[in-house]
């Protein structure tokens, strides 16, 4: 029964080309860490993962808020490629400041 006391890092996994990748993101972070994002370097590739706070529409059951997760290939700094985006429930992460 972990629930709200679950402090384990969030495990984000993705497939890019022929390889699988995984990055851990701490569930609590500062605004500075949020703006910087999280990086992963593996197999000669460099990735940047960003989170952006989003507000969804009210569907009659209350307003749904979430994080937009984006993954970028930054191996070539002149040619940043968006690999993918998705959403995560707002309760997965906590902004400390």
pLDDT for residue 55: 78
Long-range contacts of 20-23 (CB under 8 A, 24+ apart): 21/45, 21/47, 23/47, 23/49
Q: Per residue in 32-57, pLDDT tens?
A: 999 999 999 999 999 999 999 987 76
Q: Which percentage of the chain shows pLDDT scores above 70? A: 85
The better pLDDT of the pair 84, 77 is held by 84
pTM, two decimal places: 0.84
- pLDDT of residue 88 exceeding 50, the answer is yes
């Amino acid at each position: 029964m972990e629930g709200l006391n679950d402090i384990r890092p969030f495990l984000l996994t993705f497939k890019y080309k022929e390889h699988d990748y995984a990055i851990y993101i701490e569930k609590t972070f500062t605004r500075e860490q949020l703006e910087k994002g999280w990086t992963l370097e593996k197999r000669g590739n460099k990735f940047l993962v960003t989170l952006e706070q989003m507000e969804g529409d009210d569907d009659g059951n209350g307003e749904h808020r979430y994080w937009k997760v984006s993954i970028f290939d930054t191996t070539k700094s002149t040619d940043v490629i968006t690999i993918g985006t998705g959403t995560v429930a707002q309760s997965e992460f906590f902004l400390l400041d």
